[in-house]
Structure 1
Amino acid sequence: MKNFLAGIFLLPLPCLAQDIKAYQNYDFVAGDKIIFADDLADSPPGEFDPHWKLIEGQAVVNKVSDEKAFFITKYYTKLAPRVKTPAYLPKNFTLEFDSYLDAAYDSNEGIYIQFLNDTEPVVNIRSNRDYSVFDGPDTKLNGEYPKAIAAENYFNKWHHYAIAVKDNQVKIYCDQYRVLVVPEVIFKATSLLVGGDASDGKNMMFRNFKLAAGGDMNLIGKAFTDGKYISHGILFDVNKATLKPESMGEINAIVNVLTANPNLKVDVSGHTDADGDDASNLKLSEARANTVKSQLVSMGIEATRLTAKGYGETKPIADNATFEGKAQNRRVEFVKQ
């Protein structure tokens, strides 16, 4: 294991501080059915994450400040998520992850996503200091980053990436910015790989990887009017009720629905998986429900239209024995009163 860890810097690293207000125009909505999600919670530092298959290269889980991250440590590293169904990508899906790249790499593209049809690569999505690249069948497009994250502001910081595939359109986001839209591309992908070309002593890592089926802002309004909307895209810091800025795509859409339906009243409920102490989970879920309510109120929704309650782990919608099931159970629900 000593050789496996050689050259990795394990000192606390600065996170990219993102003000929620900066996400006021963010419109990414995560899919509503989890296919694969890994927050590395049950992976010991210094070990390989068992939820992934190592195709080539090397990778290891380690702590970065107060969160775990998956370090890629060798050139030509490729990882495959362990999903029970070999062909698991639907026609419409979303993908999210956080990525970090050391400034010493300069032009290295860092973490990339490769979509496969069976075993054949069909699409690569890459990023570097200035732009994201969509490289697909008969289509290669670059999306330049705004000055706020390009070049010198890109390295040594965490960035949140989100990819939405709907019908024949692909949208790619970096932090609060939509950096690239591929308006029309036809490709059939059945699975994916996460890759990176790492050098000794230079950090290249990712965390909070989540793949979900669906992802359609228009369906949120229908779900509300039908009686219930289940959100897996409202995210919080680990074991805290602090709202992550990338949650704002979904919250913005919810505010739009509530504004357009002024008589609609909603119960906001927080839910956790079964890990940890029951009482702590109940307390955490209630704090998270109140955080969401407070955010909606701050955006102009009357407090009298909203109630907030936490249920902890008492109302699972999936099997807590699997990590996919746990990801399904960690959610915020909006129920029509």
Structure 2
Amino acid sequence: MKKISILILSFHLVSACFAQDIKAYQNYDFIAGDKIIFTDDFSDSQTGEFSTHWKLNGGQAVVNIAEDEKAFFITKYYTALLPRVKTPNYLPKEFTIEFDTWLDAAYDSNNGVSICFKNGEDCSVQIITNNSQWICSTPDGRLTGELPKSLVNDAYFNKWHHVAIAVKGGQIKIYCDQYRVLVVPEVSFKANMLIVTGDASDGMNMMFKNFKLAAGGDMNMIGKAFTDGKYVSHGINFDVNKSTIKPASMGEINSIAKILKDNTNLKIEISGHTDTDGDDASNLKLSEARAIAVKNQLVSMGIDSNRLTTKGYGETKPITSNTTFEGKAENRRVEFVKM
């Protein structure tokens, strides 16, 4: 495949910040899967080139800078992107998908970045994002979910929005930012792979970043893990090289807070872990700061601080190899250990 070397010359990025903060996520219940299958933040892809972790199946796309972070810009109609996953049939029965997406206001009511779950050449399920109405097309029919009025038109365009999708058996839950916008209670779901699609026009930004596909994803999983003595979270995420908790982490934090409130004698250690990027001392300091940030968030939600201790381990306790993107993502984690 030839490398794509298209540069985007014009960005209509007025702000890269999410419109929502953590307080808006107090009822958020999305739980990310616990085993990462594929992830890409585009940090090791060259600006102005096609991402090294994707295959191009139609159209064109290019990695470029959206303010201070790299993102994948879809630049042509009929663009189709496949993640490079070594296992051919990699979608398990239960999995979650997360990514951040941006749509230029020039698209008005046009579709934005969308996800298609495939079984061979057939698209079993397609999830379509746009300004006001999200669509899930399945073999059993077509369902739509309306975004809240506070999130359409000027509130939607030219801003980053977090997309989360949870598939459990035949059920699909779809979230935009803190809102659950659509639930498909039952679908004949037989997909084994996914494809990211978009119909872009020249000079109009349609992009995504921080893509993550993980196996699992179940609120009951957290309670069982605490019963077993330890819960490992890959769904509590932070700003790059900072201890600022991303709002979409609140699904897991809300669940952990509930478990602690329901089990008043439970005491836990919150430990932060990093991958091997960066120097040892900085990683240790960062992991400590992130553990403290999670503790402070739980305390702000009514948990007694005496029940929570923190520890930063930096890169000293990897759970898998740091030689791949997925391995590094597994090692970047927050653990909750029953004391």
Q: How far off its partner does 1:9 sit?
A: 2.3
Is 2:95–2:214's contact at 8 Å kept on the other side of the alignment?
yes
- Say whether residues 1:277 and 2:284 are aligned partners: no
Name the amino acid aligned to 1:199: S
Structure 2 residue 250 is matched with structure 1 residue 248: yes
Structure 2 unaligned regions, length at least 5: none
- CA–CA separation in structure 1 for the residues paired with 2:204 and 2:15: 13
Report the equivalent of 2:64: 62
Matched, 1:201 2:203: yes
Give 1:73's aligned residue: 75
* Cα deviation digits, residues 256-313 of structure 1 (max 9, x gap): 1111111111010011111111111111111100000100011011111111111111
Q: Are 1:37 and 2:66 an aligned pair?
A: no
For residue 149 of structure 1, the aligned residue among 148, 151, 164 is: 151
- The percent identity for this pair of structures is 69
The one-character-per-residue Cα deviations of 1:2-23 (angstroms, maximum 9, x if unpaired) are 9722554276644223211100
Quote the Cα distance in structure 1 between the aligned partners of 2:111 and 2:9: 19
User: Compared with structure 1, are the counterparts of its residues 235 and 6 closer, same or farther at alpha carbon in structure 2 (3 Å cutoff)?
Assistant: closer
Match of 1:306 in 2: 308
Q: CA deviation at 1:130?
A: 0.8
Match in the other structure for 1:109? 111
Distance of aligned partners of 1:223 and 1:3 in 2 relative to their CA distance in 1, 3 Å threshold: closer
Match of 2:289 among 282, 287, 302: 287
User: Any idea what the Cα deviations from partners look like across 1:158-179, whole Å, max 9, x if unmatched?
Assistant: 1100000111111000000000
Q: Which runs of 5 or more residues in structure 1 are unaligned?
A: none
CA RMSD of aligned residues (A): 1.4
Aligned-partner Cα distance in 2 for 1:2–1:89: 28
Retained in 2: the 8 A contact 1:87–1:118? no
Query: Within 5 A, what are the aligned runs for 1:88-237?
Result: 88-237=90-239
Cα pair 1:271 1:330 within 8 Å, conserved: yes
Q: What is the TM-score when the length of structure 2 is the normalising length?
A: 0.96
Cα distance between partner residues in 1 of 2:301 and 2:174: 26
CA contact (8 A) 1:32 1:213 kept: yes
Alignment partners' CA distance in 2, 1:224 and 1:120: 40
What SS does the aligned partner of 1:157 have?
coil
Counting only pairs closer than 5 Å after superposition, residues 19-30 of structure 1 correspond to structure 2 as 19-30=21-32
Change over 3 Å in CA distance of 1:204–1:47 after alignment to 2: same
Q: Closer, same or farther in 2 for the Cα pair 1:261/1:64, shift >3 Å?
A: same
Distance of aligned partners of 1:318 and 1:237 in 2 relative to their CA distance in 1, 3 Å threshold: same
Alignment correspondent of 1:322: 324
CA distance, structure 1, for counterparts of residue 159 and residue 19 of structure 2: 9
- Structure 2: distance between partners of 1:268 and 1:6: 42
Helix, strand or coil at the partner of 2:291: helix
Q: CA deviation at 1:117?
A: 0.6
- Determine if contact 2:4/2:50 at 8 Å carries over to the other structure: no
Question: 2:51 aligns to what SS in structure 1?
Answer: coil
Q: Which moved more, 1:194-203 or 1:41-50?
A: 41-50
Query: Normalization by structure 1: what TM-score?
Result: 0.97
Cα distance in 2 for partners of 1:288, 1:155 equals 31
Contact in 1 for aligned 2:272/2:288 (Cα 8 Å): yes
